[in-house]
Each structure stands twice: as structure tokens, then as C-alpha cells.
A and B are shown apart, each in its own frame.
Chain A
Amino acid sequence: MKIFRHLASALGAFCALAALGAFAFAVVLTFVVSAFKDVEISAWNVVMSQVARWFLFWVGIYLVHNVLPIAVAHGRTRREFFLAASAFSVALAAVAALLGWLGFVAEGGIYALMDWQADEHGSPLAYVLMFLVWTAVGMFCAAAFDRYGSAGVFSVPVGFVLAIISTTHIPGAGRWPIVPNLPTAVGAGWHLLSLAAFVVALGLTWVIVRNAPVRVRS
């Protein structure tokens, strides 16, 4: 619980500030763009569908690459850290999605006031799942590179497949290559697949980190 509390207080506050900054930037950017052309898309959805997932991917990397060795150096086991980091990733994804939803509400008010058009965005559940998967994939790739060095590159295609599953129901997050209509055909069942992708990414991370040595840093 100590690890979770510390992660939540340290990284949670940083993430909340980052979200606030991103929202302010999106609003300012929208007003700047409105001076030159009609506003037709949701700037906040660009943040939520593109920027946020990469940010959470980085959080996953940071957790395993930076914080895990510190945890072991302070007498914590890999298992303790992994459980705390997993719980933190769930909490962070939920909070990020909540902040995202609040952002959409606030942005909706601004757009209505200015009579601007916004494109559609995903459901809170879809964002939660996407953030979960991207954080876990970040942890998985960091674990693979830290333990296996350059051979960790083999984690990238696996991570890519897991990550792309979770973007299916996020407008603006990109369409599937080759079979762009497949997600639409399968429908909400993809949420279960996203959940499975999260579990798989976490499981792969645990397989790698449970016996991983803490190497001497250069």
C-alpha cells in the first residue's frame, strides 16, 4: 500500500497537472485556429485520443524502467511493486478518463457558446480501457528492453497489436489497416478484447520482471 500511495501522490499529481495544462493548451489552440477557419473538430478529443495514450505509455515505461529499481533498492520485492504499479495503472486510467470526460463537458460548453462544431468522441469506458492497455504495454516494453537489451525490440510488435486493439472505439485514434471495418462489425465485444489485452500485457510484464536483475546503471 505504501508503494501505491507514493505513486499516487507523486505521479498522480503530476498527471493531473499535465491534464490541466493540456486542456488549457487545447482551448487556446482552438481559439487561435478559429481566427483562421471554422472549428469542426474537438481539440480535446485530439488530446484524449492521441496525446493522452502516449503519455500513459510513457508512464508505464517510467514505472518499470525508473521506479522498479528504486523500489528494489529500498527493500521492496518485485511482486509488491508490480501489484502496486498495476493497481496504480488502473486508478490512473480511471482518473485520466474521468478528467477526459470533464474536459469534454467543459469543451462542449465552450463550443456551444461559440457555436462551433465538434466531432464525436468515445465513451468513458473506451478511454479507460485504452489508457489501461497503453500503460500496461509501456510497462511490458520497458521490462523487455531493460531485461533483454536490444532483443527487447521483439516486444514492440506484440505491444503494437495489444495497443491497437484498445483504440478501436476511440474516434480520432486511427483506423485499422487492411480491415478498417472489422471493429465496427464486431461491436462492443472489443471492450472485452481490450480488457484481455490489458491482462495479457500485465501478464507478460510480470513474466519478465519477476526474476529481472537490477543492473548497474551507467
Chain B
Amino acid sequence: MQIDVQGLSVRYGDVTAIDDMSFSLAGNKIYGLLGRNGSGKTSLMSALAGYRKPSGSVQLDGAPVFENAAAMRQVCLVRHSADAADKGDKVSYVLEYGAAWRDTWDNDYALELAELFKIGLKTKVGALSLGQRSALGVVIGLASRSPLTMLDEAHLGMDTPTRYAFYDALLNDFMAHPRTIILSTHLIEELASLLEEVVIIDAGRLVLQEEADVLRSRGTEVTGNAADVDEFTATLTVLSEKSLGRTKAAMVYGTLDDDQLVRARQLGLELGPIALQDLFVHLTDPVGGKR
């Protein structure tokens, strides 16, 4: 499924949540939608799912999504507020909605996931803990088997074992039923291994869209003698620096060319990867105006 967003803006009164954003996503990948609080992730996903009328263009396989029955059938967005469930309803009733209204719904899988996450079918949604409600959202999202499945902060309130169970279930289901999955999360490192491509937004604008591996290769930690590190990084974009005695470590952004790699070897500097999460932090919180 091809997703095309052109000139998308979302405003709430005087607040601009998404500001003239454009990008395209190819199908059958797991995307990470990363952004700080209030960066516009939920607004963006809501526009992609037809939850709100877009100002600009949002198209799935060339067709506008808002109020387009054929396109909306292909989409499932689960936000942390559990839109597909009413607090007064029992979990079994919530799953019945999915079975009744979604052509692609896999009820056996929904029941299997509910058991995996230990969600009682007779429990009312309002009586579930935050983590269980999030898990119910995951059940709805994955069992929908929608060609475009979006999970917004799906891990909220989940304990660590449940999160790991979620990641395993997500990956297994993606392998068995390839489709486009967009995950928004703050737990970047936990999910980093699942993400094939990353979209980073900040203040309603697209910061970058990149293959996760390519993005990782753009950041390098340079460690060595402080003077040598300073010399090496003088012409590079330095995201952060740490010093301990005469040793210094600097995180630099940008791919190093062959000459730079040779020079690093000559200076005896150690070059290592930096975590996706560190790159994200610095890309959305520029140091000294560098981005």
C-alpha cells in the first residue's frame, strides 16, 4: 500500500499540529513514527486514518482516504484512547464489533492475543488497567489485519514482559501477514530492531524520513584523545560531547567519507555506532542550532 501525503496541515484553533507536511511511504514495511510530545504524531496518524478531514492531500494507493469507504476499510488506527472500544462494554463485545464490521478481522487471532495478554473477555473496558487497555488496542490493531495498521503509543502502561510479548506478536504477525505498519513510540531503542524505516517529525514538520539502517550509519561516536577528537570533528556536525580526563567522546552526525575514516585511524580514534534514540534526541533537540 502506497501512502502519499501532500501539503497536509492540521490545526486546532490557533495551534498548528501539522504544518504543510509531505512525504510518501511504500507498502509492506514497519515504520517508526518518532517525535517528541506534541510533535503531531497522533494528529498525523488521525489524518492518515480518516479520523479527521485533512487540509491537504492524504491518499492510499492514489485514492483519498477521508470518507472513502474503500480506502478506510484498508486502515486501522489504534490510539491510546481506545477509540474502537466503549468503556462500558465488555472486552468480548469490543471484539464482536471488530468481527462484525471488519472484513479482514481474524477473530481466532484476536482471542489468541487476548489470552496472550491475559485480558479477560468478560471484563469491562473501563475496568482494565492502562496496560491492559493498551494491550486490547494491540489486539484490535493486529487482529484487524488491515493493510495499513497504525499503533499510536501502543505500549503505554505495559509492563516489560507484556511489551516484549507485544513486540514478538507484532513481528510474527508481520512476517505471516506482511502489511504496512506504523508505530509511534517513545521507547525507540526497544523497538529499534523492528523498524525498517523511520519518520521523524518535530513541531508539526517532517525532520527526516530514512531507512533505519541508513539513519544509524549517519551517526558515529568518536572516542579518543581530546585534542585529536577536537581536530577530527572540527568540520563535522557534533551532536554532543563527553569528556573524562584527557579522553573525549563526541557524537557526530553525517556519513564519514573514506578520507575521514583514514584520518581517524591515523589519529588512533575509535569509531562506533550511536543509538537510534540518541540520534532522535539530537535531531529533535538541536544543539547549538545544528540539526
Contacts and interface: CB of A to CB of B under 8 A. Distances in A.
Given A213-B46, A216-B81, A70 B69 contact: no
B217 to A, nearest CB: 36
B50 A6 contact: no
A73 B52 contact: no
A69 interface: yes
Interface string B64-99: 000111001111111111111110000001001110
Given A66-B86, A70-B97, A75-B75, A214 B52 contact: yes
A123 interface: no
Interface of B: 42, 46, 50-53, 67-69, 72-86, 93, 96-98, 100-102, 140, 144, 146
A83 to B, nearest CB: 11
Interface string A65-76: 011011111111
A37 interface: no
Contact of B101 (A74, A78, A211, A218): A74
Contact of A77 (B52, B72, B81, B146): B72
Contacts of B82: 217
Contacts of A2: 100-101
Contacts, number: 77
A69 B83 contact: yes
Nearest to A79: B67
6 contacts: A6-B101, A70-B85, A73-B78, A75-B72, A80-B69, A213-B51
Given A213-B51, A217-B82, A217-B83, A71 B101 contact: yes
Given A5-B100, A70-B84, A211-B53, A75 B79 contact: no
Contacts of B69: 76-77, 79-80
Nearest to B52: A213
Contacts of B67: 77-79, 210
A71 B100 CA distance: 10
A74 B52 contact: no
A167 B68 CA distance: 39
Across the A-B interface, the 6 shortest Cβ-Cβ residue pairs: A213-B52, A73-B84, A73-B83, A74-B101, A214-B51, A217-B81
Nearest to B80: A216
Interface in A169-217: 210-211, 213-214, 216-217
A69 B74 CA distance: 17
B141 to A, nearest CB: 10
B133 to A, nearest CB: 11
B68 A75 contact: no
Contacts of B93: 10
A75 B100 CA distance: 12
Contacts of A80: 69
Given A75-B72, A75-B76, A79-B67, 20 more contacts: A3-B101, A5-B100, A6-B96, A6-B97, A66-B86, A73-B84, A74-B76, A74-B101, A75-B74, A75-B75, A76-B69, A77-B67, A77-B68, A80-B69, A213-B53, A214-B46, A214-B51, A214-B83, A216-B80, A218-B81
Given A66-B86, A70-B85, A76 B101 contact: yes
A162 B10 CA distance: 35
Interface in A62-101: 66-67, 69-80
Contacts of A76: 69, 72, 101
A68 to B, nearest CB: 10
Contacts of B68: 77
B97 A74 contact: yes
A2 B79 CA distance: 24
Contacts of A218: 81
Contacts of A67: 86
Contacts of A216: 42, 79-81, 83
Contact of A72 (B42, B83, B102): B83
B58 to A, nearest CB: 14
A120 to B, nearest CB: 38
Nearest to A211: B53
A159 B101 CA distance: 31
Contacts of A70: 83-86, 97
